[in-house]
Structure 1
Amino acid sequence: MTADTMAVESRQVRVSGKRRRNFSYPTWFFVPAAIVYGVLFLYPTIASLFFSLTRWTLFEAQFIGLENFAQFFREPFLIKGLTNTLIYAFVTSGLKVVLGLLLGVLLTSQIIGRGYLRSVVFFPVLVSTIGVGITFTVMMHPTQGVINETLALFGIKGPGWLTDPNLALLSVAFVDVWKGVGLATVIYMAGIVSIPQEYFEAAKIDGATAFQNFWNITLPLARPATVTVVTLSLIGGLRSFDLIWAMTKGGPGFTSDVIASVIYKQYQAGFYGLSTAGNVVLFVLVSIIMVPLSVWFNRREIEQ
């Protein structure tokens, strides 16, 4: 290697390194984001952990250790709220995944009125959650609601959708699915549209049926959309409050209470330390479910 060649290569390395330095972000560039993250997330999280160990009011705080957590797990209605939260989250997320996928496949196929149907499916997402809750509360009235009156026309006696302890939580869950399935559908539509058409053309040449196309092409290649829908739906279900409060306020009794509504009731009753402990329990519950799930999803994506 000649001296001229070595000089050229050395100059190229210096230029390349200089370009990398010019395009790399300086450390201070991240300071504003770090401040926002610390103020809006880190500090409230640490403060919640501290106040969950105290019996506090707006003016004072008395340290009591883990007593709030011990009381939380001793109270039957609090355990009921924890159980209902898990049921609600898995029912709503499961139905959103299944219905969102089916609607996504339907609304990306060549059907009449496809644009109009897409608007109809997505419209509930744009409506106020409280408005949806109030509307369905009226519709699900056991004697005067339009749902039971419609069933009565066919000789069917409708149940107490929101007054029957066995149906109240599931009734709210189905309303949640009706409102949120439009977002899941849009995510699936984006995932399905991004699948290269060459796969379907090759399958058509091989004589594949519509179900085989769905099972062997659409379902596997729409996996990123499935991951997104599962993640958003589970987190939303675990944190759900507004729709449940608008429709049942946790009733009848405590049969449709979730952790968020129990926490709100404890705040209303003045048990601030206990309700803060409930917030910590909810945070831990979401983390225990979502962190391993995210790791599993990422591992599967790397393997594929």
Structure 2
Amino acid sequence: MSKVFKRIYTYNFLVPAAIIYTVIFIIPTLMSFFFSMTRWTLTDWTFIGLQNFIQFFQEPSLSIGFKNTIIYATVTCLLKVVGGMLLGVFLTGKIRTKSYLRSMVFFPTLLSTIAVGVVFSTMMHPTTGLINTTLAQFGIEGPDWLGNTNIALLSVASVDVWKGVGFATIIYIAGILSIPEEYYEALQIDGGNSWNKFWSIIVPLSRPATNSVIILAFIGGLRSFDLIWAMTRGGPGFATDVIASIIYKQYQGGFYGLATAGNVILFIFVTALVFPLSRYLNRKEVDL
């Protein structure tokens, strides 16, 4: 009887978290699935089955949105992984100002995404922006960063990386510092150099940090909206339209059921990509 009581007593501590999770996540998720099959307003709804999903897949710019979403997520994820690892290695080295530099690298993560988008939109203006004005001082004609359909998406992605690489760096710093010193001492005895230290110890043994950065950065890229909307609103044309921006435009047009169906599709799309990726990465982890 005492064991049963202890088990019930232990589970009681989970009840508050379970209630909060149910109210904030489970119930809204189930409601989203339901309202995605309705034509609804704030005061009324009509059940229409799968019509919203059929109409959403007929959206003219949807194929561009899917392609841009994949490109944006892949580019930002790769750059955050590479940049975060290199900065993590540098900021765990023997440098005097590493505490200050860590703060500076992490600082952009704390800034408002909308504010960052507005500032960089101004800086990337083709004629009066700070970037092209600076390039002109060296005789270089800068491109129209956000107006050129070929580079607009990559321009926004670069800002996303600048803002988010600090978070990836912090994860890598934690992962690198958790590697036991014995590995470094063994490498030193064997006559290994800095490259051997990086490639043979840091890269494989910081794989859990790498996996975390990949998953978080990839999910963030697939769901990205606020920075893209603040900088380009999906333009020029559909050059930077992603799935989330298409959904937002439908909300703006008053097609709430259609937009809700789009959110459900985005949820399924992200889950379908991230779940197998997560399982694959977890199988590759190296135990210390």
3-state SS, counterpart of residue 76 of structure 1 = coil
Q: Which residue, 37, 44, 64 being the options, matches 1:80?
A: 64
Q: Which residue, 290, 293, 302 being the options, matches 2:274?
A: 290
TM-score (norm 2): 0.94
Larger Rg: 1
In the other structure, the counterpart of 1:114 is 98
Q: How many residue pairs end up in the alignment? A: 288
Note if 1:157 corresponds to 2:160: no
Q: CA deviation at 1:184?
A: 0.5
* Unaligned 5+ runs, structure 2: none
CA distance in 1, matches of 2:286, 2:183: 21
Change (3 A) 1:244 1:149: same
Change (3 A) 1:32 1:168: same
Note if 1:245 corresponds to 2:245: no
Change (3 A) 1:111 1:32: closer
Note if 1:65 corresponds to 2:54: no
Change (3 A) 1:26 1:112: closer
In the other structure, the counterpart of 2:82 is 98
TM-score (norm 1): 0.89
> Which piece of structure 1 moves more, 139-148 or 58-67?
58-67
In the other structure, the counterpart of 1:41 is 25
CA distance in 2, matches of 1:117, 1:26: 43
CA distance in 2, matches of 1:81, 1:152: 34
Change (3 A) 1:28 1:246: same
Change (3 A) 1:303 1:20: farther
1:213-265 deviations in whole A, cap 9, x for unaligned?
11110011101111111111111111111111111111112211111111111
Q: Which residue, 251, 261, 265 being the options, matches 2:249?
A: 265
CA distance in 2, matches of 1:258, 1:33: 34
Change (3 A) 1:30 1:190: closer
Q: Which residue, 138, 147, 170 being the options, matches 2:122?
A: 138
Q: Percent identity between the aligned chains?
A: 62
* Unaligned 5+ runs, structure 1: 1-16
